[in-house]
Amino acid sequence: MSKLEFSPLLTPRQILEYGAFGGCYFGLPIEEYTNYDYDSLFNELFDGIDTKLYLGERYSPKLNQFKLRSGMDYDYWKEMGWLHQDDPYGWFEWYCKYTLGRRHEDDTRQITRWQNFCGKSGRWKDRIYTRIHETKNWNISPRIQQSLLHWGYYVNEQDYDHWKYYKRIVA
């Protein structure tokens, strides 16, 4: 695998603590459950975090940073082919395992997905900074901001300044 740029701003723990996934990311029962030791994963990454932030059985928008529903449902993920059999919960599960040092055949695909979403020229990162620039409102598009949080990214002034520089926007 070639070295791809991959630098989420948030760790998996921080993503949950900031308020992502409506509290139920790992709580939803799935058919593709593997024999992976999830307790070990949880103990290593989420020790001390209230389990309601990741093991809830129902999606709760009030647990999200922006208090709204964001993201696609699990059936949509399956339909789009975004799941790998070794990470049946999807990107965030992959990211948790990657953070713990696992390297996997799916790394390039997942990192490319991250880059396209919120990497240096990711479409949703570009979209939020465009909207902020147009409106001068840092609270604009909370659904986009919530989705970016799912991918380990939060909107910030330093990246906004870099975005303006690369877009050649003069203040």
- One pLDDT digit (tens) per residue for the chain, 171 residues: 346 899 999 999 999 999 999 999 998 777 666 678 889 999 999 999 999 999 998 999 999 999 999 888 888 888 988 899 999 999 999 999 999 999 999 999 999 999 999 999 899 999 999 999 999 999 999 999 999 999 999 999 999 999 999 888 876
In this structure, are 87 and 31 located in the same domain?
Answer: yes
Tell me how crowded residue 127 is: count the other CB atoms within 10 A of its CB. 13
- Work out how many domains the chain is built from and give that number: 2
Residue 154 lies inside a defined structural domain of this protein: yes
Residue 54 lies inside a defined structural domain of this protein: yes
Q: Model-level pTM?
A: 0.92
With b for 16 or more beta-carbon neighbours within 10 A and e for fewer, the 44-57 pattern comes to: ebbeeeeeebbbbe
In this structure, are 101 and 57 located in the same domain?
Answer: yes
Res 171: pLDDT: 60
Full DSSP string of 74-86 = HHHHHHHT--BTT
Q: Tell me which residue range forms the domain holding 154.
A: 119-166
In this structure, are 132 and 105 located in the same domain?
Answer: no
In the chain, where does DSSP find H-type helix?
A: 12-18, 38-46, 74-80, 91-99, 107-118, 123-135, 142-150, 157-166
In this structure, are 87 and 141 located in the same domain?
Answer: no
Res 2: pLDDT: 47
Residue 48 lies inside a defined structural domain of this protein: yes
